Amino acid sequence: MRLQGKVLRLGILFGAVSLLVPVCAAAQTPAAEPDYSRIFTKQDVMIRMRDGVRLHTQIYAPRDAAQPLPILLERTPYGIPEDAKGSTSKLRIYDELIRDGYVFVFQDIRGRFLSEGKFVMLRRPRDPRDAQAIDEGTDTYDTIDWLIQNVPHNNGRVGILGISYGGWLTVMATLDPHPALKAASEQASPADMYLGDDFHHNGAFRLSYGFEYASEMETDKTNYAFKFSTFDTFEWYLQNLGALSNANSLYFHGEIPTWNAFVEHPNYDAYWATQAVPPYLKRVTVPDLNVAGWWDQEDFYGPVKIYETLEQHDSQHLNYLVVGPWNHGGWARSDGRSLGKIDFASDTSAYFRARVQAPWFAYWLKDQGQLPFREALTFQTGSNQWKTYGQWPPRERITPRKLYLRAAGGLSFDPPRPEDAAFESYLSDPAHPVPYRHRPIGRTYGVPGWTAWLVEDQRFVHLRPDILSFATAPLAENVCVAGDLVVHLFASTSGTDSDWIVKLIDVYPEEQRPDPTMGGYQLMIADEVLRARFRHGFETPEPLVADQVTPYTIDLHTNNHCFLEGHRVMVQVQSTWFPVIDRNPQKFVPNIFKATDADYQTATQRVYHSPSYPSYIELPVETH
């Protein structure tokens, strides 16, 4: 979630703040920095909230404005870094909007950097019946009210936007918006920190992210970096941390509130339910541009879930969705032509900023132009083309098809046969977990690796004995999917708890031009983990029956990808993904955060692919 704060400080972003991450989609030679001091007049103010707390705010008004302008507001927990001439470097991601003419406002949220008050991670929305209560929504309301009354030559309209934690703050502003708030763009906002965003996925704890982000945000008012004793955090988490119960006894000593909340709320209880965004989204109050990236390593679940939830109440057609081939916040920086080694054949980020985001705000805040697309705009990877839809997921020309796991590592649209082997098996050992990306694995923020790990070549773990791989023959024609991908898995374990991680992969042909090194590349298209104790619901964990075949449904979320002719489709199944996901002890314990090192044990895993237990992935295949 962390996008802007981390990138701009050249060391880190909340991810949700999901919180959260650097917004660079590809390495580039930086362009010359504009002299913003010649473009804008700057004003530094402390705006008083309704409870007396003052929030640090910077206002940048264009020097040459010939007419009243709308205001664009960004609120952040990551600080407002400044360049050598005293202007904030945050302006760098708004070049297209600067050319259109806006008053830009940046604000430190309550309790962070130069703002007064107490910081509360993802502060819950207030009870509207309590006239004295405050939350991020009231702080935004009070800020807009002050700006409209005190910023000269504004046109009475305000737009708000932000990425990651800033995206979540944008959503909070729309729950009970100020009348002057006329447009919002939540980008990579978390929606539920237990089900699919920064801190957990389907109840499985995102260890490296949760550990590092909580300590960063709650050690002091700035962006603290935990001091690892080894560069390779894979080794540190395995040997120096060990069981999660060691975190407080050895390092945090009960002083990190969010970590304490992880420990005390291991299941989906009121703590997580009241923090989740969807229950508050009961109406669409302002036009909302939801933005997501297919390879967002922090908050892909959030913006799509927010769009889907708002869509249920969108009688006035104010709810829109854009998804591109980006990592967390990758649309805000670079040209977006590539991510890692994957080339998209066009400047996707530049296209979004100039052809989508700028026209969007001009339409709602200036009455200029037309809306840039109908309802949903997605970049179809593989075919590398933008596609527009009247709704998402699309329903027209979509046929659900089952792609079955088969014996001997096969994958086919034909179901299993009785004469084939019934299952494949592997030994899952928490003492030797599968790394989630190439080692050495540096800290989450501040060193390369985290921002593009979802597009790493999966051959670095292919053929490990604790991973099962199933692949089709080379495709005779394109297979393009648009919509929700769902895995139906039949599996057993010799333990009483387990994690099941499933990855959908596009395997390139062996001959690739112009880059031969891309031959056989295994590109992960979708992925997810399910903690088996939550197979019947996330509120009450249940142990497994050892060696009993159990059905699982694993949502790989929505996607738009074309597996091209000559490529192969692959599905990989594994039980560890370290340290992005904490290790499951594989023995049921009431609370994994309180498990000891002695609780972790090996387990024999079986994945079934027989007529009685046909594991498959359901694909929404485009038809013509």
Average pLDDT on 312-339 reads: 97
Last residue of a domain, one of 191, 210, 238: 191
Range of the domain at 167: 3-191
Tell me which H or E stretch contains 216: helix 207-218
The identity of residue 142, as a single letter, is D
318-330: b (≥16 Cβ within 10 Å) or e? bbbbbbbbbbbbb
- Read off φ and ψ for residue 416, nearest 5 degrees: -60, 155
Average pLDDT on 389-405 reads: 96
Quick one: pLDDT at residue 221?
85
Evaluate whether residue 355 is within a structural domain.
no
Average pLDDT on 39-52 reads: 97
Quick one: pLDDT at residue 571?
98
Average pLDDT on 152-172 reads: 98
Last residue of a domain, one of 165, 191, 217: 191
Average pLDDT on 94-122 reads: 97
Last residue of a domain, one of 191, 216, 248: 191
Quick one: pLDDT at residue 222?
84
What are the tens digits of pLDDT across the range 465-499? 999 999 999 999 999 999 999 999 999 999 999 99
First to last CA, the chain: 38
- Read off φ and ψ for residue 526, nearest 5 degrees: -150, 155
Quick one: pLDDT at residue 31?
59
Evaluate whether residue 422 is within a structural domain.
yes
Evaluate whether residue 610 is within a structural domain.
yes
CA dihedral 502, 388, 17, 329 (to 10 degrees): 100
Cis amide linkage into residue 440, ω under 30° from 0:
yes
Q: How many domains does the chain divide into?
A: 2
Residue 11 pLDDT > 70, yes or no?
no
Q: For position 536, which CATH number holds? A: 2.60.120.260
Residue 314 pLDDT > 90, yes or no?
yes
Q: For position 186, which CATH number holds? A: 3.40.50.1820
Quick one: pLDDT at residue 72?
98
Supply the DSSP string of 78-100, one letter for each residue: S---B-TTS-BGGGGGGHHHHHH
Evaluate whether residue 254 is within a structural domain.
no
Evaluate whether residue 406 is within a structural domain.
yes
Evaluate whether residue 381 is within a structural domain.
no
Average pLDDT on 70-89 reads: 96
Question: CA 555, 559, 561 angle in degrees (round to 5)?
Answer: 135
**Per mean pLDDT, which range of 128-132, 349-353, 355-359, 428-432 is the poorest?**
128-132
* pLDDT tier for residue 9 given thresholds of 50, 70 and 90: very low
SS3 category, 388: strand
Evaluate whether residue 100 is within a structural domain.
yes
Task: Say how many C-beta atoms besides its own lie within 10 A of residue 305's C-beta.
Answer: 26
Percentage above 90 pLDDT, the chain: 92
What are the tens digits of pLDDT across the range 220-238? 888 889 999 999 999 999 9
* pLDDT tier for residue 21 given thresholds of 50, 70 and 90: very low
Quick one: pLDDT at residue 589?
98
* pLDDT tier for residue 17 given thresholds of 50, 70 and 90: very low
What are the tens digits of pLDDT across the range 599-608? 999 999 999 9
Quick one: pLDDT at residue 128?
86
Q: Which two tokens stand for residue 130?
A: 């309590």
Residue 3 pLDDT > 60, yes or no?
no
3-state helix, strand, coil in the chain (%, to 5): 25, 30, 45
**Per mean pLDDT, which range of 127-136, 171-180, 329-338 is the poorest?**
127-136
Quick one: pLDDT at residue 1?
58
Average pLDDT on 577-590 reads: 98
* pLDDT tier for residue 615 given thresholds of 50, 70 and 90: very high
Looking at every residue in the chain, the average pLDDT score rounds to 94
Quick one: pLDDT at residue 131?
85
- Least Cα distance to 95 among 358, 385, 281 occurs for 358
246 or 224, greater pLDDT: 246
Evaluate whether residue 55 is within a structural domain.
yes
Q: Cα–Cα distance between 583 and 595 in angstroms, integer?
A: 11
What are the tens digits of pLDDT across the range 115-139? 999 999 999 999 988 989 999 999 9
Quick one: pLDDT at residue 470?
98
Quick one: pLDDT at residue 457?
98
CA dihedral 141, 142, 146, 148 (to 10 degrees): 10
